[in-house]
Amino acid sequence: MKDIFKKQGYFKDKINPYELSDNATVELGAMKKNFASLDKDPYTSITNNRFRAYSNLILFPWERKLSWIPPQQKDGNLSSSYWQGNFNPEHKDAIRYFTPIDPTVKNSTLLNNIILHDYDLTFWDPAYSSLPIYVGVHFVKLAVLDKSQVAFSSPNLVHQDGEAFTFAHLFNRVNVRGGTNYISKPEWANHKLEQVDRCDIMEEFEMYEPFESYAVCDEMVSHYVSPIELDDKELQQGYREIVLIDFSLMHQWIK
């Protein structure tokens, strides 16, 4: 898989949580509970039902050790800060603060082993291969509560993330249409999907099963996920839950 990733700048896969933790059943339950109680993303519009949690950590490759960065007090709540430099045109150079991931989930063997599993598929310039790696973990849920609603990710454009590698693992998808992933050539970053020359779209796919996954090498491709809406409009709600894990060099994020 790593060879494919290096060659084309993205890949699709499916991981098995039961191979990554002996306690996966219990730990998946804790993740499910965390997704069910996510706070609304404070940086989206009132009408967009996007919910998220974020925590960050330092990965020490030579010890295969993860050290979670403690959240800070912000306006009376514990928060983890997230900065994408100029890469997200909707939040240029802004630090965003999110509710941290539940401590039980952060400390679970499952999440820690997913992070290490993903890290093992990344590839770095040899000059940097012995440095600590900065890792961001996002739990993102898009929900639609009636047939007129759509919910969308940020940015709602073809884009690059700014982090060297991003892995996306579907956690759950219930009664939604859309959420189509597109991988395209990097020069289409910050364009609307409709503007992209179809010849430059390298892959178009959807994820349905829990732990279907994909990854991108940020400098090699751009990517996009389309908004979601209810599939069966007679049912009351639908949602799509994703675990995003990004990896970058520490010095990239020193402001």
Residues that bind Fe ion (CB under 5 A): 161
Name the minimum Å distance from CB 246 to Fe ion. 8
Give the separation between CA 171 and CA 41, rounded to whole angstroms: 18
Residue 11 bridge partners (DSSP): 215
- Closest CB to Fe ion among 104 and 156? 156
Q: Between 43 and 131, whose beta carbon lies closer to Fe ion?
A: 43
State the residue number with the nearest CB to Fe ion.
161
171, 105 in Cβ contact below 8 A?
no
Determine contact, residues 174/235, Cβ cutoff 8 Å: no
Whether the bond between 17 and the residue before it is cis, its omega within 30 degrees of 0, is no
Distances (CA, A) of 6 to 1, 18, 54, 165, 182: 9, 27, 27, 11, 18
- Residue 166 CB, shortest distance to Fe ion, in Å, is 6
The helix or strand, by DSSP H or E, that contains position 34, with its residue range, turns out to be: helix 24-36
Which residue number, 29 or 89, has a Cβ lying nearer to Fe ion? Answer: 89
Q: Cβ 147 to Fe ion, closest distance in Å?
A: 27
Q: Which residues contact 152 (CB under 8 A, 6 or more apart)?
A: 48, 50, 142, 226, 227, 228
Integer Cα distance of 30 and 38 in angstroms: 12
Q: Smallest distance, Å, CB 9 to Fe ion?
A: 14
**Least Cβ distance, residue 215 to Fe ion (angstroms):** 11
Of the two residues 41 and 161, which places its CB atom closer to Fe ion in the complex? 161
Query: Is there a contact between 188 and 195 (Cβ–Cβ < 8 Å)?
Result: yes
Give the pair of three-digit tokens for residue 99.
Answer: 């509710």
- Closer Cβ to Fe ion, 31 or 225, answer by number: 225
Question: Measured from the CB atom, is 161 or 229 closer to Fe ion?
Answer: 161
| CA nearest to 137, candidates 253, 56, 65 | 56
User: Least distance in Å: CB of 205 to Fe ion?
Assistant: 15
Q: Which is closer to Fe ion, CB of 97 or CB of 165?
A: 165
Q: How far is the CB of 242 from Fe ion (least distance, A)?
A: 10
* Amino acid residing at 173: R
